Amino acid sequence: MTDRFPSRRSVVAGIGAATLLAPVARAQGGALLHRPIPHGNGDSLPAVGLGTAVVFSGANAQNKAGLTATVRALIAGGGTLIDTAPSYGEAEGLVGDILSETGLRPKAFIATKLERFEPGKEAAEAKECLARLKTDKIDLLQLHNVRDPNQDMGGINALKAQGICRYTGITTTFGRDYDAAEAIIKRARPDFLEVDYAFDNRKAEERLLPAAQDAGTAVLTALPFGRGRLFRTALDKPLPAWAADFDAKTWAQFFLKFVLSHPVVTAVIPGTNKPEHMTDNLGAAMGRLPDAQQRQKMIAFLETLK
């Protein structure tokens, strides 16, 4: 889900200004949940990051001031993770420009991707990413939307050995490719997996998340708002009173806290180009998370919204 959909704006408008102010205060003054990177030798990540697909490209790219404010809101709220890719239009270049112009690069954890899958040419492609991002090192470099179960990670791992990136991983947001991703995880034990996982899209729970847990692979969850479906489902509906039992103050926090309550998930990366939504998202990494019984209650409640 990204902010190109009007549905989140409609849901937020129905919540009221007083409620929206609450996560702002907590994001600025509270402690943001961090999750360990299993292969990270003690490193950890704040549990909410920023996705840039669509929202940092196209017509949205013209609003650089708004995008800069969104990145500032992420960092000011205690977040670090920014996920991007060469295939996200202008996103990589804009992230590089913003971090360079604001001086925030040292505070950011940049994740980007290799797209071309050309053996022996990984270094050349990575250097193009470095140039767009205006940095000399990428925090996480991933093979984007893997499809081949026999995919060799030797080339991308060599870049890690050379110091071009700190971590390597794979991504998939297509169920048809889950088998390939699972095979790679089991064989290559990558540092990270990025996968689509949401309150209403739990297929990754069946095999991918258990495989990641067994391999010690950190998990980033893309599309945690279900490609916009969740906000459309919640439109004009009140947040249940029992959401307060796990400190969810808005629908965005309700949806994100469900994802974060899975013990294998390291961080969520919802896309947004609005600083107020960025701050609201960060609120999901504060306070309590749903326990197993509450997760089941949330799933049952979802059925009543459809």
Tell me how far apart the alpha carbons of residues 199 and 220 are, in angstroms, rounded to a whole number: 15
pLDDT for 228 equals 85
Tell me how far apart the alpha carbons of residues 104 and 72 are, in angstroms, rounded to a whole number: 8
Domains in the chain, ordered, with CATH? 6-305 (3.20.20.100)
Helix (H) or strand (E) holding 36: strand 34-36
Give the neighbor-by-neighbor strand order of the sheet with 165-172: 50-51, 81-83, 109-114, 138-143, 165-172, 192-196, 218-222, 265-268
Measured in whole angstroms, the distance separating CA 35 from the mean position of its chain's CA atoms is: 13
Helix (H) or strand (E) holding 138: strand 138-143
What averages of pLDDT result for each successive group of 10 residues across the chain (306 residues)? 53 44 39 96 97 97 97 98 98 98 98 97 98 98 98 98 98 98 98 98 98 98 93 92 98 98 98 98 98 97 88
CB 273 within 8 A of CB 57: no
Tell me how far apart the alpha carbons of residues 79 and 283 are, in angstroms, rounded to a whole number: 11
pLDDT for 235 equals 87
CB 108 within 8 A of CB 116: no
Q: Please spell the DSSP secondary structure of 216-280, one letter per residue.
A: T-EEEEE-TTGGGHHHHHHTT-PPPGGGGGGT--SHHHHHHHHHHTSTTEEEE--B-S-HHHHHH
Residue that is written with structure tokens 């708004």 in the block: 66
Helix, strand and coil content of the chain, in percent to the nearest 5, comes to 50, 15, 35
Taking Cα atoms as reference points, which of 171, 177, 185, 179 lies closest to residue 215?
185
pLDDT for 45 equals 98
Residue that is written with structure tokens 């947001």 in the block: 173
Tell me how far apart the alpha carbons of residues 283 and 290 are, in angstroms, rounded to a whole number: 14
Taking Cα atoms as reference points, which of 68, 73, 49, 51 lies closest to residue 4?
51
pLDDT for 26 equals 37
Strand, helix or coil at 114? strand
Tell me how far apart the alpha carbons of residues 33 and 216 are, in angstroms, rounded to a whole number: 19
Token code pair at residue 89: 């239009």
Taking Cα atoms as reference points, which of 101, 105, 4 lies closest to residue 56?
4
For residue 116, the number of C-alpha atoms closer than 13 Å in the C-beta half-sphere is: 13
pTM of the model: 0.92
Q: What is the 3-state secondary structure (H, E, C) of 183-217?
A: HHHHHHCCCEEEEECECCECHHHCCHHHHHHHHCC
